[in-house]
Amino acid sequence: MNKTARPVESAHGTFHITDVYPSVDGGRFPVKRIVGEPVEVWADIYRDGHDVIAAALVWRHEGDGEWQHAPMTLHSDDRWGGAFVPDRPGRYTYAIEAWTDQFASWRHRFAQKQRDGSDHTLDALEGAGMLTQAQAGGPGAAAVIIRQCEIYLQTGEAGALLAPELQDAMAGSQFRPDLTRSQLFPLIADRPRARAGAWYQMFPRSQGKVPGAHGTFGDCIARLPDIAAMGFDVVLLAPIHPIGRQHCKGRNNAAIAQGGDPGSPYAIGAAEGGHDAVHPELGTLDDFRGFVAACEGHGLEVALDFAVQCSADHPWLTQHPQWFKRRPDGSMRTAEHPPQRWDDVVNPDFGCEDAGALWHALRDVVLFWVEQGVKIFRVDNPHTKPLPFWEWLIREVQQHDPEVLFLAEGFVRPKLMKGLAKLGFTQSYSYFTWRTQRCELEQYLGELTGYPERDFFRPNFFVNTPDILPFHLQSGESWMFKSRLALAATLSGNYGIYSGFELLEHTPIPGREEYLNSEKYAIRVRDWDQAGNIKPYIAALNRIRRSHLALQQFANLRFINTDDGGVIGFVKEAVDQSNVIAAAIALSPEARDVWLPLGDIAVGRGEARRPVTAVEDLVTGERHPLEWGGIRLHIDPARDPALLLRCIA
């Protein structure tokens, strides 16, 4: 009877490299990190038998040909760790390599035989033979190996083979016949603005001073000192393009515009141009470039709203009619999500036969604005467009310029929001806008700062938007506006306000979370210094954020159990552990005393970490010592609903 021979197993299958961290969906999507900061990588690595294992972390930027290497260290129970630092923005790939350290394995066995007194002459010769086969370890290692080999051959003393420096030299100078590499894992390293920024959203046409008159980029430039004085980092502009005249919306989203109604800037495109043109009443493209330069002079970045939709007057409808769907009667299919309809816009058809040209045209729009100096884009309703399109577009743009950032504006189902973040969006809108109770905030933040979300989802906590006036702001109470601002600014590294928040604007359409006389359909002129504004409070919060690294990150967050359900307490720690901030923020208007347990909080780096002994109030400058593992402080929301404390060892 013939028997089939058992196949010889490949040596490359000797090692198992499992449970790799960080990874998103098993390596399908990239992990997100920040340039210049260590990326810790962990994995379980094991094989059969008792030989000594060695492992290394390998990585490279997608523009590099050579891999870089760093050793990994065994911690316990076959868990290995290593780290690398991405030195420039862009996409990286990393992997883990494992192999048998044959010399270290021999050394371990030899040392055991020495202890039990058995004859080890042949074992010593075996070790010396390994030295003669060593190669590729570099001139320094080669010198050590040659020297120790000669000492052994001259003296016959096995101690020459056990020298620590020889073990180090041999570690990188041996053949690795069973070298095993894990699968490749992707990573995106973003510039620091991806993690921390205070955003101010405005409609350029409303920045003038004459009621009813269309604002210009010059008017926008005149606003910049005010915005910069409040401490913002990013100015987000509603669409700046020509507005369609067909089916133009009127005030408060009226179906028919009246004389003088400017229409919605989200109905993009007219005879003057489409997504790569500016509204003529705002100015010229040169005027826009001047605005970008002025922002840079004030330490601000420009973010543009990128809305993938067209008015019926958009040039693409005549130049590329195949990009759009039509109804059976030949009329254009307007945008709708029953019961809602947007008769002033049409969506491109991503399933059309000419979809490739459509994709490239939209990519080229983004690249056009990148050429004008824009490095941040807020994408309007990305969940209504094919997910593969966004993954492709973001990669295409970031290959051209890896400093470009994308914010996903999509208040949709949680898994879809996370899916958008996975496939490349740098930041995401979040449900913070509606989380008001302590338990809601703790649960939601616990979800976003846990694993795996913290590795791919960067929330941007907007307190309001042009589309959303939350019910909790509609009373217009100053303490509530301050509380929501403090929560957004301290809980998240990225947060934003829509203009008018600083003036406590709060008049809704009755029964709805929408602004009455919405700026989306009208030009509004404001007195930016009107009585009752909270601009000094905003400026103080942003000043504290800029001064404390703990508040410029999101993931290192820990809630503390205050003794008052109307106060939320938490501690945040900087990525480099140099800065620890404790906060207590009132969620209701009553003044109260609150106990903050801080006894188990430590400050400092590594072995220098010490327990907190005192806190400094970042607003008043007062210091308070800890007693009995905590501190009791007074909060008066009418004055300031937030206590922000620097922890001192």
Render pLDDT for 219-268 as a digit per residue (tens, 0 to 9). 999 999 999 999 999 999 999 999 999 989 999 999 889 988 999 999 99
409 is catalytic: yes
pLDDT value at residue 144 = 86
354 is catalytic: no
Q: Which residue(s) pair with 597 in the sheet?
A: 630
Outline where 455-534 has alpha helix (H).
Answer: 478-491
* Nearest Cα to Cα of residue 493 among 448, 447, 436, 439: 448
Show the tokens assigned to 292: 């970008």
Give pLDDT tens digits for 69-89.
999 999 999 999 999 999 999
Bridge pairing between strands 376-380 and 405-409:
parallel
Is there a contact between 243 and 264 (Cβ–Cβ < 8 Å)?
yes
Is there a contact between 85 and 38 (Cβ–Cβ < 8 Å)?
yes
* Nearest Cα to Cα of residue 299 among 3, 542, 601, 573: 542
**Residue 365: how many other CB atoms lie within 10 Å:** 18
Phi first, then psi: what are they for 631, rounded to 5°?
-155, 140
Mean pLDDT in residue range 499-505:
98
Query: Alpha-carbon dihedral of residues 109, 114, 116, 120, nearest 10 degrees?
Result: 80
Give me the DSSP letters along 70-108: EE-EEEETTEEEEEE---SSEEEEEEEEEEE-HHHHHHH
Of 164 and 313, the structure prediction assigns the larger pLDDT to 313
Measured distance CA(578)–CA(550) in Å, rounded? 8
Q: What is the percentage of the chain residues whose pLDDT exceeds 70?
A: 97
Measured distance CA(163)–CA(180) in Å, rounded? 28
Is there a contact between 302 and 376 (Cβ–Cβ < 8 Å)?
yes
Of 102 and 500, the structure prediction assigns the larger pLDDT to 500
Give pLDDT tens digits for 422-460.
999 999 999 999 999 999 999 999 999 999 999 999 999
- 409, 505, 564, 573: the catalytic one is 409
Measured distance CA(638)–CA(361) in Å, rounded? 52
Outline where 548-598 has alpha helix (H).
Answer: none
pLDDT value at residue 338 = 65
Show the tokens assigned to 258: 């009246």
- 51, 101, 380, 455: the catalytic one is 380
Is pLDDT at 534 greater than 70 in this prediction? yes
- Greatest mean pLDDT range, 101-105, 574-578, 617-621: 617-621
pLDDT value at residue 5 = 42
Give me the DSSP letters along 312-337: TT-HHHHH-GGGB-B-TTS-B--EEE
Q: Which range is least confidently modeled, 151-155, 256-260, 610-614, 643-647?
A: 151-155
Measure CA of the first residue to CA of the last residue in the chain; give whole Å: 79
Is there a contact between 223 and 208 (Cβ–Cβ < 8 Å)?
no
Measured distance CA(27)–CA(561) in Å, rounded? 36
Binding-site residue positions for alpha-maltose 1-phosphate: 249, 309, 344, 381, 520-521
Mean pLDDT in residue range 623-647:
96
Binding-site residue positions: 249, 309, 344, 381, 520-521
Measured distance CA(24)–CA(27) in Å, rounded? 5
Spatial neighbors of 646 by CB under 8 A, at least 6 apart, are 548, 579, 580, 581, 615, 616, 618
